[in-house]
Amino acid sequence: MRKLEERILEDGIVLPGDVLKVGAFLNQQVDTGLLADMAEEVFALFSGCGVTKILTIESSGLPFATAVAMRFGVPMTFAKKHASANMTDDVLSAEVFSYTHGKTFRIVVGSEYIRKNDCVLIADDFLANGNALKGLISIVESAGAKVAGAAVQIEKCYQGGGDAVRKTGIRVESLAAIASMDGGRIRFRD
C-alpha cells in the first residue's frame, strides 16, 4: 500500500536490533485516516472469505484489528499476554516468544470467544519471525475454527515468518513489505 510505504519512509525510525519504530503514526500515536484506509484495503482483500471474527494479540495490534473489525462489521477478539483474574480456566492458549520483549509469553483467549463455526482473520501490526502469528493460528485451530488468513500492517520479509506461514497454505497479506533495513535504509519488496 503506497500510502503506508511513504509514511514509513517519512516517519519510521530504524532502531538497533532491527526494530522499526512507527510510534508516530501506527503504534503509540495512531493516524486515524491512514488506519481507515488500511482497514479498507484489508476488507478489499478478504471480503467474500466469510470472516466472522478478527483476532489479534495485545497490545500494539489493537487499533488495526479494531479498525478492520469495524469495516467487516464483526467482533474483534484479542489474546492476552497475562491471564487475568476475571478469566476462567477454560482458555485457549499458546506459547509465544516476543520479538520486542525478548521473552516467552503464554497468550490466552477465553474459549467462549472463538467457536468451531468461526472463520477468523488474524490481524497484527508487525510480522517478523512469525511467532506471534503462529501462536494465534494455533489458538484458532485448537478451537476447531477456520483461519481465513492473516493481514499485517508491516511485514519484515527478510525475517522469514510470513513465508514460513504461507508455506503451510495459510494466506498472509501485508500492507507494506520490507525487504531490508540494512544500514538503517528501508527497502520495500518489489
Separation of alpha carbons 2 and 52, rounded Å: 28
For the CB of residue 150, give the shortest distance to ligand 5GP in the complex, in Å: 10
* 8 Å CB contact between 155 and 133: no
Q: Choose, by CB under 6 A, the member of 100, 112, 144, 189 that binds ligand 5GP.
A: 100
User: In this structure, is the dihedral angle defined by the CA atoms of residues 34, 39, 41 and 42, taken in order, positive or negative?
Assistant: positive
| Burial class of residue 149 (count of CB atoms within 10 Å of its CB; 0-12, 13-18, 19+) | buried
Separation of alpha carbons 81 and 100, rounded Å: 13
Q: Choose, by CB under 6 A, the member of 78, 99, 123, 140 that binds ligand 5GP.
A: 99
Query: If we measure between CA atoms, which residue out of 145, 99, 95, 104 comes closest to residue 125?
Result: 99
For the CB of residue 60, give the shortest distance to ligand 5GP in the complex, in Å: 5
Instruction: Decide if residue 161 touches ligand 5GP (CB under 6 A).
Output: yes
Q: Choose, by CB under 6 A, the member of 4, 12, 27, 46 that binds ligand 5GP.
A: 27
Q: Choose, by CB under 6 A, the member of 54, 132, 148, 175 that binds ligand 5GP.
A: 132
Instruction: Decide if residue 174 touches ligand 5GP (CB under 6 A).
Output: no
For the CB of residue 2, give the shortest distance to ligand 5GP in the complex, in Å: 20
Q: Choose, by CB under 6 A, the member of 5, 37, 129, 143 that binds ligand 5GP.
A: 129
Query: If we measure between CA atoms, which residue out of 36, 26, 47 comes closest to residue 70?
Result: 36
Note the residues at the interface with ligand 5GP (CB under 6 A): 19-22, 27, 60-61, 99-100, 124-133, 161
